[in-house]
A and B are shown apart, each in its own frame.
Chain A
Amino acid sequence: MFKNASLKKISLIIFILVLLIFFIWYGSIEPDPEKGHYPGEEEILQDYGEHVGRKVEVGGRVIEEEPLKIEIEYGSEKIELQVVGEKEEANENDRITVYGTLHENNTIVAENVVVRGYWRYIYMYTVSVGAAVWVGVRLFKSWRWDSDSFSFQKRDEDLELKDMIRKNDRGGKGHG
């Protein structure tokens, strides 16, 4: 795809630069309910009054079950919101996302609530770490880092698990 080394380097730099531009561009996008993008924690914490009476979608940690209260945060800012209206059973420390109308006195009238249990969160992150290790091991078995070409090179022969444990890299120099 990129036979010329210089062209490859230039393309790599361009793609990274475009990605950086994407990060800045996306960061400047304001919520637009017409497009299904509702104000969230950031907007509410920056100017609560501006969003009173409007539809919002916020996620936070349950800090009280009855009445249902959540803590939403953005950066170092935090507020508590009481959730009324549509109810779902939620326990302390569960994560919930609420779609509804923001009212004064730190209240949100919910139209829909999605609850994710605390332990399910622990499960999700645990298996995700396991999956990352699995992919990492498979990568290391087939590829090795070659600093001369500044790229991962396919090993001539996949490493066996015992070789990986012994760090007896028969595929060549470096670590992939």
Chain B
Amino acid sequence: MADLLTHVLVAYTLGIVLSWKYRWIKSHHVTMMMVGAAIPDLVRIRLLIPSHAIEDLLGIPFSWDPIHTLGGSILIVLILTMLFKEDANSEGSKRLFLVLFAGMVSHLFLDALLITASGHTYAIFWPLTDYRPVISGVYLSTDVLPAVISFIAAASVRLIDR
């Protein structure tokens, strides 16, 4: 996982750039795109409650990892879409779904570019397939450069947007 700052900065940039083409994208939609970009990192709940602790407690297999896959993230996007209400009509919900989804996809895409020891990335398309594609990564989760580049991009689009 790249650091969360990089993910939300990329979503912020993406949201503002898309708002130039799609006029319905307002500030709160950009925020929701940033929320979407944070969804796969909810998998870090395992730092507080490790998967094996739940396995030991319940006696059944358990893993938080689906949160960081396409299938699990889409479910969380759907859950959040229902927990946020922009207006009385369904158009608002559709828009919230779209921005959450776009942010989430940007996160999964960026994390597929991470360098791994085996050369295989994570099971990005699970549950459609548990194959982990071979991708020659370009950066580490602990690198500083991705955050610096995304900060410059975010600051630039904000200036242009003003």
The answer to whether A36 and B28 touch (CB under 8 A), given A22-B72, A23-B64, A134-B8, is no
Q: Which residues of A contact B27 (CB under 8 A)?
A: 142, 158
- CB pair A154–B28 under 8 Å, yes or no, is yes
In the complex, whether A163 has a CB less than 8 A from a CB of chain B is no
- CB pair A19–B56 under 8 Å, yes or no, is no
- CB pair B131–A116 under 8 Å, yes or no, is no
CB under 8 Å from chain A, chain B span 18-69: 27-28, 31, 34-35, 38, 41, 50-53, 55-56, 60-66, 69
Chain A residues with a Cβ closer than 8 Å to the other chain, count: 60
- CB pair B85–A99 under 8 Å, yes or no, is no
Give the nearest-CB partner of A132 in chain B: B4
- CB pair A26–B65 under 8 Å, yes or no, is yes
- What's the minimum C-beta distance from A26 to chain B, rounded to whole angstroms? 4
Query: Which 3 pairs show the lowest CB-CB distances between chains A and B?
Result: A36-B120, A27-B61, A36-B132
**Looking at the complex, which one of B9, B63, B142 makes contact with A117 (CB distance below 8 Å)?**
B142
- CB pair A121–B82 under 8 Å, yes or no, is no
Q: Chain B: interface residue count, which band?
A: 35 or more
In the complex, whether B153 has a CB less than 8 A from a CB of chain A is no
**Looking at the complex, which one of B52, B97, B123, B132 makes contact with A75 (CB distance below 8 Å)?**
B52
- What's the minimum C-beta distance from A16 to chain B, rounded to whole angstroms? 7
- CB pair B142–A99 under 8 Å, yes or no, is no
Give the nearest-CB partner of B47 in chain A: A125
The answer to whether A131 and B4 touch (CB under 8 A), given A24-B62, A25-B127, A38-B118, is yes
**Looking at the complex, which one of A22, A128, A153 makes contact with B66 (CB distance below 8 Å)?**
A22
In Å, the complex CA distance between A22 and B129 comes to: 13
Give the nearest-CB partner of B137 in chain A: A114
- What's the minimum C-beta distance from A141 to chain B, rounded to whole angstroms? 8
**Looking at the complex, which one of A8, A37, A121, A128 makes contact with B5 (CB distance below 8 Å)?**
A128
In the complex, whether B147 has a CB less than 8 A from a CB of chain A is yes
**Looking at the complex, which one of A3, A134, A135, A142 makes contact with B28 (CB distance below 8 Å)?**
A142
In Å, the complex CA distance between A113 and B66 comes to: 26
B 78-107 to A, binary, CB cutoff 8 A, 1 in contact else 0: 110111111100101110010000000000
- CB pair A22–B127 under 8 Å, yes or no, is yes
The answer to whether A26 and B93 touch (CB under 8 A), given A127-B147, A149-B85, is no
Q: Which residues of B contact A32 (CB under 8 A)?
A: 130
B 121-144 to A, binary, CB cutoff 8 A, 1 in contact else 0: 101001101111110000011111
